[in-house]
Chains A and B, each alone.
Chain A
Amino acid sequence: MADMALSDANIAESAWMSRAKALSRLRITDKAFFQITRAAAYFVLLLLGAIIVSLIIGGWPALKEFGFSFLVSQSWNPVTEKFGALAPIYGTVVTSLIAMLIAVPLGLLITLFLTELCPMWLRRPISIAIELLAGIPSIIYGIWGLFVFAPFLQRTLQPFLIDLFGNVPVLSTLFAGPPYGIGVLTSGLILAIMVLPFITSISRDVFEAVPPMLKEAAYGLGFTTWEVVRYVVLPYARVGVIGGVMLALGRALGETMAVTFVIGNAHKVSSSLLAPGTTISATIANEFTEAVGDLYTSSLIALGLLLFCITFIVLAIARYMLMRIERRIG
Chain B
Amino acid sequence: MALMDLYSRRRRRNTIVLALSFGATAAGLGWLTLILGSLVWESFRGFSLDVFTHMTPPPGAAGGGLLNPIVGSLIMTTLGVAVGTPIGILAGTYMAEYGRYAHVTKVVRFINDILLSAPSIVIGLFIYEMVVYPMGHFSGFAGGLALAVLVIPVVVRTTEDMLMLVPKELREASAALGTPRAKIIWNVSYRAARAGIVTGILLAVARISGETAPLLFTALNNQFFSLDLNQPMASLPAVIFQFALSPYQDWQRLAWVGAMIITFAVLALSITARALAGSRKPS
Contacts and interface: CB of A to CB of B under 8 A. Distances in A.
Interface of A: 26-27, 29-30, 32-34, 36-45, 47-48, 50-51, 54-55, 57-58, 105-107, 109-110, 112-114, 117-118, 126, 128-130, 132-133, 135-144, 146-148, 193, 196, 200, 224-227, 229, 247, 250-251, 253-257, 260-261, 281, 284-285, 288-289, 300-301, 304, 307-308, 311-312, 315-316, 319
A161 B210 CA distance: 34
B24 interface: yes
Contacts of B129: 54-55, 57-58, 301
Interface residues of B, number: 88
Contacts of A315: 113-114, 117-118
B267 to A, nearest CB: 6
B121 A50 contact: no
B213 A133 contact: no
A139 B121 contact: no
B256 A143 contact: yes
User: How would you classify the secondary structure of chain B's contact residues: helix, strand, loop or mixed?
Assistant: helix
B222 interface: no
B29 A129 contact: yes
Chain A contact surface mostly: helix
A243 B28 CA distance: 21
A82 B25 CA distance: 47
Nearest to A49: B111
B125 A58 contact: yes
Contacts of B93: 37, 40
B81 interface: no
Interface stretch (B46-54, B62-70, B192-200, B239-247): B239-247
Interface of B: 10-11, 13-14, 17-18, 20-25, 27-29, 31-32, 34-35, 38-39, 42, 86-88, 90-91, 93-95, 97-99, 104-105, 107-108, 110-115, 117-123, 125-126, 128-130, 149, 152-153, 156, 180-183, 185, 206, 209-213, 216-217, 220, 237, 240-241, 244-245, 252, 255-256, 259, 262-263, 266-267, 270, 274
B36 to A, nearest CB: 8
Contact of B113 (A29, A42, A138, A319): A319
A104 B21 CA distance: 12
Nearest to B129: A54
Contacts, number: 260
A128 B274 contact: yes
Contact of A255 (B105, B110, B119): B119
A284 B266 contact: no
6 contacts: A39-B90, A47-B149, A140-B39, A254-B120, A256-B121, A316-B110
Contacts of A106: 24, 27-28
B49 to A, nearest CB: 22
A50 B126 contact: yes
Given A40-B90, A304-B125, 4 more contacts: A33-B181, A146-B244, A148-B42, A312-B118
Contacts of A128: 274
Contacts of B97: 37
A114 B25 contact: yes
B255 A143 contact: yes
Contact of B104 (A41, A117, A307): A41
B245 A261 contact: yes
Given A54-B129, A136-B35, A44 B153 contact: yes
